[in-house]
Amino acid sequence: MTTLGLIGAGHIGSALAQTALDAGWDVVLSNSRGPETLADLVAELAARPTARGTVRAGTAEEAAVAADLAVVTIPVKAIDQVPVDPLAGKVVIDTNNYYPQRDGQIPDLDEARTTSAELLQRHLPGSSVVKAFNHIQAAQIVSERSAPGTGHRRALAIAGDDATAKERVAAFVDELGFDVVDLGTLADSWRIEPGTPGYGAEDDADQLRAHLAAATRG
């Protein structure tokens, strides 16, 4: 079994845990409030008849250490709380979106000098960050899965600076039930941030490519 380490156990984290368990992954969940606060969620996930992997709660450090593939799914304002050393050399999926009303004003993002994914990569210099799962509603990660080759299969965009890391995340996204569109580097990931045409759109791959191409920054 391979292990998915989740740093963040909110709506997106919980949905990814469910779909990964169904795909046969082991899962370690963590949040900012401590493993004991995740007992009910772990019990609920473990009891599902479709779960093929195991699930347990841990600290963020423990999730990072256990991860063969890691996911950071927390508010952008909390990026500096992500453990650095245990994620070195690992692929880290970034699902985060910048919402000033929640995260406060971040001038580098407000003035389009960088992207939220680049901020996480800056915090994790020894890791390979790949943007994914940031433009789909959490419930749809579960409800819109389908097999490869399904007509108009829902597609998700990924972005990253490491080609090998992107290949790994693309395989994971496909395994969970979605086609993949590579939109480019972390610097390009603004094309699928909140307010862009593809954000939240229920697109197949061709539709998503068109929406990414139509995005404007501002």
For residue 205, what is the domain's CATH number?
A: 3.40.50.720
Determine the pLDDT at residue 36.
96
Determine the pLDDT at residue 84.
98
Q: Whose structure tokens read 């539709």?
A: 207
| Domain count within the chain | 1
Tell me the C-alpha distance between 199 and 140, whole Å: 13
Determine the pLDDT at residue 218.
75
pTM: 0.96
Measured between its terminal Cα atoms, the distance across the chain in Å is 43
Which structural domain, as residue segments, surrounds residue 127? 3-214
Determine the pLDDT at residue 101.
96
Determine the pLDDT at residue 170.
98
Determine the pLDDT at residue 1.
67
Residues of the chain with pLDDT under 70: 1
* H or E, element range at 66: helix 60-66
The letter for the amino acid at 124 is L
Are the C-beta atoms of residues 110 and 217 closer than 8 Å to each other?
no
pLDDT tens for 169-217 read 999 999 999 999 999 999 999 999 999 999 999 999 999 999 999 999 9
